């Protein structure tokens, strides 16, 4: 396997912004090759183990990482922190330093998934991953945390290029100059910012024009907004934000309609899920439907799933002929195989 001379071996993946554009393209190119030759890389992690820490449950994430490890010749071990004796703010137990150093003696890499209600404030999950990265001697991979979801971002752009360009080849120029609309959707899930922010970051690194449309009171992380704006300027793209319900759809090539929490979702060390849901449901007109999609430039609909159908998007759009949701979901497997191969393969 051509692993770009091992330059990514041992690297953490917490947010795509911390990898160079060339490194991201190397990973995506390998993911395409792995998709074409699905069982041609079974030697890469032969007989090795990848640990998966799930503070929050999942469907695609656990399935795709377990399949990825198996198809690379290894094994993914499912771990729930609640069943382990780990130190927390309220309980005694093993520190992150000790846990990370010991697990590094067992596994070739460690994945962590920590979202919304498993954090007492925004950014706490990101800090936990970085604490593991500080002490671990193997790569740390975000399997989605409160700030970022790098594997989803990679799967997103891989899927969009498949729909907008020639299949079987990752051509990043396909996305340059295309308009990506990040549209807030109302709903009952009170979701973190991770997938949305990751899509903005990686899309802008590939030269996409980014528009964020949301009701007032649903601003995203100011640092991520700044990164996205700077990425767009670097790559000759445009960045804009609007509170207009439909304006952002005009001329869009990719529509990403998803609910996300407000900046006030955390209070007194607690994630206020029910309050967020009640507030979001008041904006029932913020839903992606056929009328809004008709304003686009024949856009594709994308979503990281699970979809809150009837709130974030209507069924006829989510399951329509321009929906790429299942291709993007499949690509989680392939990009995760590529990331694991590039960062964890034995020299």
CA distance 319 to 342: 34
Q: What is the pLDDT of residue 308?
A: 97
Q: Which two tokens stand for residue 241?
A: 């934000």
CA distance 339 to 337: 6
User: Do 191 and 278 lie in a common domain?
Assistant: yes
Nearest one of 257, 255, 258 to 297, comparing CA atoms: 255
Q: Is 181:252 a contact under the CB 8 Å cutoff?
A: yes
User: Do 16 and 74 lie in a common domain?
Assistant: yes
User: Do 26 and 11 lie in a common domain?
Assistant: yes
User: Do 229 and 270 lie in a common domain?
Assistant: yes
- 257 burial level (CB within 10 Å; 0-12, 13-18, 19+): buried
Q: What is the mean pLDDT of each run of 10 residues along the chain (347 residues)?
A: 71 98 97 96 97 93 98 97 74 86 97 95 97 98 98 98 86 96 96 98 98 98 98 98 98 98 97 97 98 98 97 98 98 98 92
CATH number, domain at 161?
3.40.50.1370
Structural domains counted in the chain: 2
Nearest one of 174, 141, 91, 73 to 332, comparing CA atoms: 141
CA distance 109 to 343: 8
Give the range of the structural domain holding residue 320, as residue numbers without chain letter: 152-328
**Block residue for tokens 């994430």:** 61
User: Do 180 and 246 lie in a common domain?
Assistant: yes
User: Do 66 and 100 lie in a common domain?
Assistant: yes
Q: What is the pLDDT of residue 93?
A: 78
User: Do 100 and 240 lie in a common domain?
Assistant: no
Q: Which two tokens stand for residue 342?
A: 């590039």
User: Do 161 and 287 lie in a common domain?
Assistant: yes
User: Do 78 and 169 lie in a common domain?
Assistant: no
User: Do 193 and 106 lie in a common domain?
Assistant: no
User: Do 125 and 185 lie in a common domain?
Assistant: no
Nearest one of 85, 63, 89, 210 to 143, comparing CA atoms: 63
Q: What is the pLDDT of residue 170?
A: 80
């Amino acid at each position: 396997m051509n692993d770009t001379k091992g330059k990514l071996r041992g690297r953490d993946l917490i947010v795509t912004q911390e990898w160079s554009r060339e490194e991201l393209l190397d990973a995506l190119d390998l993911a395409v090759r792995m998709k074409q030759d699905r069982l041609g890389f079974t030697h890469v992690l032969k007989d090795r183990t990848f640990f998966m820490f799930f503070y929050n449950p999942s469907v695609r994430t656990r399935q795709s990482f377990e399949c990825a490890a198996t198809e690379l010749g290894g094994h993914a071990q499912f771990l729930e922190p609640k069943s382990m004796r780990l130190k927390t703010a309220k309980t005694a137990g093993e520190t992150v330093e000790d846990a990370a150093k010991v697990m590094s003696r067992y596994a070739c890499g460690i994945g962590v998934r920590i979202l919304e209600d498993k954090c007492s404030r925004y950014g706490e999950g990101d800090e936990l991953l970085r604490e593991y990265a500080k002490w671990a001697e193997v790569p740390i991979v975000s399997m989605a945390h409160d700030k970022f979801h790098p594997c989803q971002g990679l799967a997103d752009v891989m899927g969009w290029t498949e729909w907008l360009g020639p299949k079987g080849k990752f051509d990043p120029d396909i996305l340059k100059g295309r308009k990506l609309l990040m549209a807030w959707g109302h709903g009952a899930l009170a979701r973190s910012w991770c997938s949305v922010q990751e899509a903005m970051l990686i899309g802008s690194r590939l030269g996409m024009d980014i528009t964020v449309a949301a009701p007032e009171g649903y601003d995203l992380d100011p640092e991520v907004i700044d990164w996205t704006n700077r990425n767009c300027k670097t790559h000759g793209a445009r960045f804009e934000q609007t509170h207009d319900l439909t304006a952002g759809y005009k001329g869009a090539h990719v529509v990403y309609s998803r609910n996300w929490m407000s900046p006030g979702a955390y209070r007194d060390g607690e994630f206020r899920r029910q309050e967020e849901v009640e507030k979001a449901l008041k904006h029932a007109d913020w839903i992606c439907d056929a009328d809004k999609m008709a304003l686009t430039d024949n856009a594709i609909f994308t979503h990281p799933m699970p979809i809150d159908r009837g709130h974030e998007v209507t069924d006829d759009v989510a399951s329509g002929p321009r929906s790429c949701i299942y291709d993007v979901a499949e690509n989680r497997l392939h990009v995760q195989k590529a990331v694991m191969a590039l960062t964890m393969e034995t020299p």
